[in-house]
Every structure is written in C-alpha cells, then in structure tokens.
Structure 1
C-alpha cells in the first residue's frame, strides 16, 4: 500500500461520515463545548495563568528558595524548575507543560531536563480531582482528595526513584531574569488563553469523532 494511503482513506471516510451524520457530530461538538465550559476552563485556566505569571515574574524567586533544595537533592533537577514543580501539582500537568515550553524556548533548561520532570509531574489539579472527579463523578469530595493525594505521593516517589540515575546538579546562586509584573500579567493571560484553546480544540475534535463512531 502506498505511503499515506491509509491516512487518506481514514480522512476520506471521516469526511463522508461528517456529511451524513452532521447532526450527531454537531451534538458531539456541543457536548465538548459543555465539558470545556463547565469543567476544563474553570478548573485549568486560572491556574495556567497563575503558573506563567509565577514563572515569568519575581514571584519565582521565593519559590526557588523554598523548594529549590528539595528539587535539586531529591529530584536532582535544577532549582529553577521548582516553580514548575509546584504549579504542576497545583494547576495540573497542562500547566507545568506550558511553563516548561516557555523555559525551553528561553534557554533556561534543556529538553532532557523538561522530559525528566514531565515523566512524573502528571497529576491532575486538586480542583479537578476534588470537584470534577470527587464531587461530580463519585459524589464525595473526600474521595477526590484521596485520589489527588495518591497521585501526588506516587509522582514524588517516582521522581525520586528516577533521579537515582542522575547526579545532583550544582546549586544556582544567580537570580533568574524576570519581567515587570504588568508585562508578566499580560503574557501569562495570553499564554493561558492559547493553552486553553489548544486543549479545548482537542476536546472538541475527539467529542465529534466519538459522536460519529457512536452514530455509525
């Protein structure tokens, strides 16, 4: 079979399906929009904006001083990743991934260091675990808190285990460059909007595909 033929056939079939089952696909998109508006955006957007604001403003300095030694000695990662670690656990893994992307582009960290952090910093945001999963799905905020606690403990344990294969990085004494607060606020809001659009775009796409498969 020629290269790309299978992908072309799949896209063609999906296009035909969208034409013949347009009503069902539209309902799927509406369901995706409801999920984004009622769950994902309220639980992720504020934390994504706060995460970028923390990383790009002077607020990162006290976080590095407080959590930097733990990040360097237990996880064997640079102290500059301490704000990313904190916001990954507070705002969920999309927040941490967004911060890491910016740090790689600015040259503050290497792709290998970012990959090591993403290997274990994959817990959900506490608001999502408690509100969406605990209260929404399980009917118990305590159950959501337990789920989040298990994620957090396992992530730190996994991060420490992975770190045994690496050496402890040297302590960082120089201060990280940061933007003025107003500029950091504007940049963090724009970055959070861009990140949420990307996440919601995938949610809408797969909601539409799921509705199409169910209709067929």
Structure 2
C-alpha cells in the first residue's frame, strides 16, 4: 500500500474533479459510457467469455499442471518462471487481455507461483486477442489483411522482449527449481495432471457452474472499466487535456521523423485502445508510420485495459508495478519490431502487387456475422448466470 500523502491528495482531487466534470457535461458522460458498454456488450463479452470458462475448467482438470511439467525446462531458464507460466503465456495469447492477469492471479492464489514469479509472469502475458489483431485492426481499421501478420508478430515479439527484460525483476529471490527431469517428462506430466484432477474433484455440473459464475463476475468488472475510461476520454476532450497531450505526443513523433499530427489520432488510444487504433488506421499519414504507431499502442494497450489487469492483480495481493513497466517496454519493442517487419516482409511491394485480397470480403462477412451474434451470446450467458445464482440461492437453505 502506498502511504504517501501526496498520493491521497491526488486520488481525492482526481475523483472529485471527475465527478464535477460529469455534472458539468452530463450528456457527454452518459453517451460515452453507453458507447463503452455497447462495445463490451457486442464484442468484449462474447470474445472473452468462452476462454475464461475454458481456462477455469482446464485448471480444475489438471491441464495447467500438465503444461507446467512439460514446459519447466523452457520457461525456467529463459524467463525465470515455472513451466506453468507457459500455459498462462499461451492462454493469454489466444484469449487476449486481461486473461494473462486473470490466470496469473488464479495460479498465485492456488500457490502454484511465488509472489515474485507471479508479478514477473504478469508483465509479459498481456496480449491482444488474435481476432482483434487480424480481423478488427488489419482488415477493419487498416483495410489490408496482410498487415495482420505484422501486427501479430510485432505484438508477440514485443511481449517476449518484455519477458527477457523482466527476468531480471528482483534477482536472487527466485524459488530454486527443485524438480529434476525424469526419463519421461511426458509420463510425469500425465501423472501430475491425474493427481491434480483427483485433488480438485467435484461433479462436472458444479465445476461448470463455478467456471461460469467466476468468468461472468470478472467480465462485469471489465465492462465497468471500459465504460469508465470511455467516459474519461470524452471528458478530457471537452476540457482540452486531450489537445494538450496531442501536441506533446506530436512533438515527440516529429523528433522520431513521423508526422506530428499523428499524435491527435493516437491520444484517444492512451485511454481506450480500440478508439485510438481505429483513428490511426484512417489517418492521412504514410502507412508505415501508422503501422508502427498502432503496434506501439497495441503494446501499451491503454489505461482502460491496464486498469482491468491492475484490478485483478491487486485483488490477489500482487504488485502491479512490473505489469505497468512491462507495458512501456511492450510499446517500444512492438513498435520497433513492426518497423523491422514492415521492411523485412516487403509490405509495400505486396500491397502494390495485390490490388485486392481474395479473402478480405469473406473476412468482412465473417466479422460482421460475429458482431451480429455478439449481443445474443451476451444475453444468453447472463441469463444462464442469473439462473445459476438463483438455483444456488434457493437451494442453499435446504443444504443446511
């Protein structure tokens, strides 16, 4: 806990100032919150819910333990985390934010990670969803499917770079690897998975219900953060803070050789990632500059997503400093990787030679179909969530 008086004064002034702005600009605040909630309702909830439930079930069935035993020889020497961190890395990569933080916190609470290992792991398992990188960013915002490979590779390389840097976090305090490799690591992993499932055994219906309720609880919190930071972004525009940040950011971009007015497009992404990446995608600037800046923003991931992960880590008693430092490194590494990959993959030549990508229209159709189904998925899951809670509430008196 930070006991500094200045922090207390800053937090008090910030919350009071935000409340004042909400009263002064009520229409802006309400509309921005509704836009954030619509984004959560249509896209975020349907995209993350299946992965959250699946991760909960995989923990209960011992799959996490299985992966941990298999990946111990890789994760320990490279990133100084147990092999189980490899499972978190892959689940974060597939699921998107804030699944990495969620899985890390859960494994720390299960005592499968030490505090230092969990904080270190949280710094480099924060990924954007692959569907967001390819379908939304590359096709939806930049209208070039081939850029999906640049965004994805730069994003993943950036996080690996963060992991290599953060392996130095609190050196000398690591738990020694106390397991020697057996002649058959795979057999050992299978035995460990079976033992873990027996230790956690509960009926499948109960396990599934717990996974649903736990996942929906986390997603409701995420929805609140998205609505909050969507509102903050619009209020900052009203009072001119965003314009000031745009000038400062534009000055730094000009020093780097980029068009200074790109700062205006990127600033909203500091608060809410999707808004910023969308504006950068349509901004009148050289494509390579927009790709590099969007990649850096995807690594930084915006205050909204950072707040979601910090909330999850804090509830588990973990420090958020490694995670926040990791976002700065991730932004730098991803931007640098995108700059290299853009030239290495000869993106300009490919775009000139390909007047139209054959699968782009189909991708747009699939993306549109997924968006149309999103609200129905959200409604269905919330109804199931309410039914599970009602059943447990009504049934609990009879169990006493």
Query: What are structure 1's unaligned runs of at least 5 residues?
Result: none
Conservation of the 8 A alpha-carbon contact between 1:29 and 1:205: yes
User: Does residue 1:170 correspond to 2:174, yes or no?
Assistant: no
Conservation of the 8 A alpha-carbon contact between 1:28 and 1:208: yes
Structure 1 residues 19 and 160, CA gap change in structure 2 (3 angstroms): closer
User: Does residue 1:192 correspond to 2:215, yes or no?
Assistant: yes
2:230 maps to which residue?
207
1:43 maps to which residue?
47
User: Does residue 1:22 correspond to 2:16, yes or no?
Assistant: no
Conservation of the 8 A alpha-carbon contact between 1:103 and 1:109: yes
Measured after TM superposition, the shift of residue 118 of structure 1 is 1.7
3-state SS, counterpart of residue 175 of structure 1 = helix
Measured after TM superposition, the shift of residue 163 of structure 1 is 4.1
Measured after TM superposition, the shift of residue 87 of structure 1 is 0.5
Q: Deviations over 1:7-57 (max 9, x none)?
A: 444433332322232111111011101221233223322222222222232
Aligned pairs for 1:1-216 (under 5 A) are 4-5=8-9, 7-160=11-164, 162-163=166-167, 169-171=177-179, 175=192, 177-178=196-197, 179-180=200-201, 181-216=204-239
Q: Measure the CA separation in 1 of the matches of 2:10 and 2:104.
A: 35
Conservation of the 8 A alpha-carbon contact between 1:51 and 1:96: no
Query: What are structure 2's unaligned runs of at least 5 residues?
Result: 181-187, 240-400
Conservation of the 8 A alpha-carbon contact between 2:88 and 2:104: yes
CA radius of gyration, larger in: 2
* Aligned alpha-carbon RMSD (Å): 2.9
Measured after TM superposition, the shift of residue 158 of structure 1 is 4.0
The structure with higher relative contact order (CA 8 Å, sep 6+) is: 1
After TM superposition, the score normalised by the length of structure 1 is: 0.82
Structure 1 residues 162 and 204, CA gap change in structure 2 (3 angstroms): closer
Aligned length: 215
Q: Measure the CA separation in 1 of the matches of 2:83 and 2:52.
A: 21
